[in-house]
Structure 1
Amino acid sequence: MTTMHPAAIAFRDPAALCVRTEIGGAHRVHRTPGYESGAVLPDDTWQPLPEDHPERYIPGLFTKDSGLIEFFRLPDTVTDAHSLAALVDMLGDPHPVPLGETDDPPGEPVTHRRPASGLRLGLHVDNHQNLPYTDRDTARRRLCVNLGPGSRHLLLSNTDIKSICRTVHDRYETCHPHTDDLRRYLALRRPLKLLRIRIDPGEGWLVPTAVLPYDESTEGQELPSVTASWLGHWERGLFGPLI
């Protein structure tokens, strides 16, 4: 049986993680307007994260900085997009990759779209570097900040793309992990759980999005929210922990 590796989340207080996190399942959609065929979406079976679950996401002894999920609150000195960009430039990566801003209306089950087609991707992995299976763990993490005015949710698969590739490919060592692998995994009726984690205005996250399928959601919110994102090689602990 293939071993599935869950997300590795940095947190101090299990109760604080539970307060802002729900867990649910996923399904694929077909011929749904606005979505790519086969896109993986939450199945709306959200439940509170059980009290015994946070321990499953505690980083292991060998969790690399590049594989860690961290949540943070922006310093009070960051008051606009310019000061945020200046902060990112000071975090230790001399060449962070800006991904721009998004402005998402409320009520979106997933927010990320394919630039060329405008279609929603659903849960996906970032492939800006298109690293092969053997090097995937060295990919840059994505830093994303919610600039408000509304809250939003980060959606995370609890199974990484390398584990998924070991399930769907006979010769997984030579593959380049892709969102299509996640979709094939669901097509094989393999179980997948999603975490939905609330991110309020002024809060942000660092996630290995080339390894862990993810998206964002504004479902259930009353206000739109703007995000700004970068890719970079950053050490853990650059910000004080949010939870």
Structure 2
Amino acid sequence: MHPAAIAFQDPARLHARCEIAGVRRLTLRPGYETTVVVPDDDWQPLPTGYPERFAPSIFTRDSGLVELFRVPETVFDIHTLTALVEMLGDPFPITLGEVTDEPGLPVTHRNSASDLHLGLHVDNHQNLRYPDRERARRRLCVNLGPGSRYLLLTDTDIKSVCRTVQDRYETHTPATADLRLYVTLRRPVHVLRLRIDPGEGWFAPTAVLPYDESTSGQQLPSVTASWLGHWDRGVFGPLI
């Protein structure tokens, strides 16, 4: 299984803002797709030595890296943020827009057509097949506040999932349905919960690593702005 590759300099900083839990299925719940995968909410601190498991290797591509960052002080609204994103190195970033989420949501992302919650899922904007998956754009997301929120990431990527649930995975187009089948078959998977405070953001390979966001336990709503693009690692200084 390929774990998330998270850029960090200090394991203690990753410990301080990251927890881990198992997952469960929700079936026929109002407001959700028919069967979804969500955290089981038994959040625990990362075990001792666990941060090293997520350290990038020499084989980790920029497109496969999770990075947390603080937005520069020169960014004070969505307009200056948009101008900054346009200067990060991808001349044609894809704007995904702004979303406001109320507090207390276990997962926040919804199917744009049905308005139903997706649970842990993969982005498929480029619809890339298994061999080409690492060429997908990374997602850039910034928490504009006022509340904090969480980035949810599974510790198993969708290509590993497909090798388990698809006989002809080499020609398959990975999808959220593969993760749901994987969990239905009781294959082991865990989810990480990384706190993202107002003024902070993240890059993640969301076409490869199943993810969502959460406002569980928060008292205030929060607004996010998101883009997809091909960005080199380290365009912002490391948050952790």
Q: How does 1:144-155 map to 2 (within 5 A)?
A: 144-155=141-152
Contact 1:74 1:203 in 2 (8 A): yes
Write the letter of the residue equivalent to 1:96. P
TM-score, normalised by the number of residues in structure 1: 0.98
Q: Does 1:111 align with 2:123?
A: no
2:228 aligned residue: 231
Write the letter of the residue equivalent to 1:94. P
Q: Does 1:38 align with 2:35?
A: yes
TM-score, normalised by the number of residues in structure 2: 0.99
Write the letter of the residue equivalent to 1:51. T
Rounded to whole Å, the distance in 2 between the matches of 1:116 and 1:171 is 29
1:207-235 superposed Cα distances (whole Å, 9 cap, x missing partner):
00000000000000000000000000000
Residue 110 of structure 1 aligns to a residue whose secondary structure is: coil
Equivalent pairs counted in the alignment come to 240
1:171-230 superposed Cα distances (whole Å, 9 cap, x missing partner):
110100000000000010101100000000000000000000000000000000000000
The sequence identity of aligned pairs, in percent, is: 70
1:216 aligned residue: 213
Rounded to whole Å, the distance in 1 between the matches of 2:220 and 2:47 is 28
Q: Does 1:86 align with 2:83?
A: yes
The Cα shift of 1:91 comes to 0.1
Shift >6 Å, 4+ stretches = none
Write the letter of the residue equivalent to 1:77. T
How large is the Cα RMSD of the aligned pairs? Answer: 0.4
Rounded to whole Å, the distance in 2 between the matches of 1:23 and 1:33 is 26
1:91-148 superposed Cα distances (whole Å, 9 cap, x missing partner):
0000000000000000000000011111000000000000000000010000000000
Q: How does 1:56-71 map to 2 (within 5 A)?
A: 56-71=53-68
Write the letter of the residue equivalent to 1:70. E
The Cα shift of 1:51 comes to 2.6
1:185 aligned residue: 182
Contact 1:15 1:51 in 2 (8 A): no
Write the letter of the residue equivalent to 1:134. P
Give structure 2 stretches of 5+ with no counterpart. Answer: none
Give structure 1 stretches of 5+ with no counterpart. Answer: none
Rounded to whole Å, the distance in 2 between the matches of 1:64 and 1:30 is 36
Q: Does 1:54 align with 2:51?
A: yes
Rounded to whole Å, the distance in 1 between the matches of 2:48 and 2:181 is 32
